Amino acid sequence: MKLFFRYTLLVGLVVGLATPIVHAAKKPRKSRKDEVVTISTPQGDIRLILFDKTPLHKANFLKLAQSGFYTGTTFHRVIPNFMIQGGDPNSKDADPANDGAGASDEKMIPAEILPEFTHKRGAVAAARTPDFINPQRQSSASQFYIVQNPQGTPHLNGQYTVFGQVISGQEVVDKIAQQPTAERNRPVTNIPMTVKVEKLKKKKITELYGYQYQ
């Protein structure tokens, strides 16, 4: 099942009386901290880690979350044994018919599809429009989905950008997926979210949530 939107290296030379010296570039130090994203819903809290290897998607999601963009948006599409989808600004209004369509002027995010990030249970990925109008597989500027199926959804691998992983609250994802729905798999009762970001030491994240950094 596919997800459809309705929607240079600088080298410095020191010239002296002796042989010129080439200064080797220092490798960037890896940060000892990372952001934990918490999505709060009526069913409970879901915590995520976003991947450094998908920097465009990570930076975009963190920017939106920290600005309060996601507050009041809903999980507008839920399918048991598949996934839950949310993050559309249209879901803030009173018209359920436009949920999932996205903003008319939204700028897409270039795809960052990597083979090591698969659609396993709890994977966080970017929704997008279908290939026939989006052959580059660019991502929505805000809409995302979380894989709920215990076996994952491997048929989506290589087609959508996976940019994060649930580290706590997968049972909440399960509860949301089981909510009664109406047309277009939209929950009968709104499932609003608030999103906050907390920076913690990676060691602390591993201690709290068991997430192992590679």
Tens-place pLDDT, residues 85-127: 999 998 887 767 767 676 767 789 999 999 999 999 999 999 9
Tens-place pLDDT, residues 136-184: 999 999 999 999 999 999 999 999 999 999 999 999 999 999 999 998 8
Exposed (0-12), middle (13-18) or buried (19+): which is 30, by Cβ within 10 Å?
exposed
- From residue 184, give the alpha-carbon distance in Å to each of 45, 79, 110, 168: 25, 10, 27, 28
**Token couple for 191:** 């499932």
Q: Is the dihedral of CA 106, 7, 68, 80 positive or negative?
A: negative
In the chain, what are the domains?
Answer: 33-95+102-209 (2.40.100.10)
pTM of the model: 0.85
CA distance 85 to 76: 6
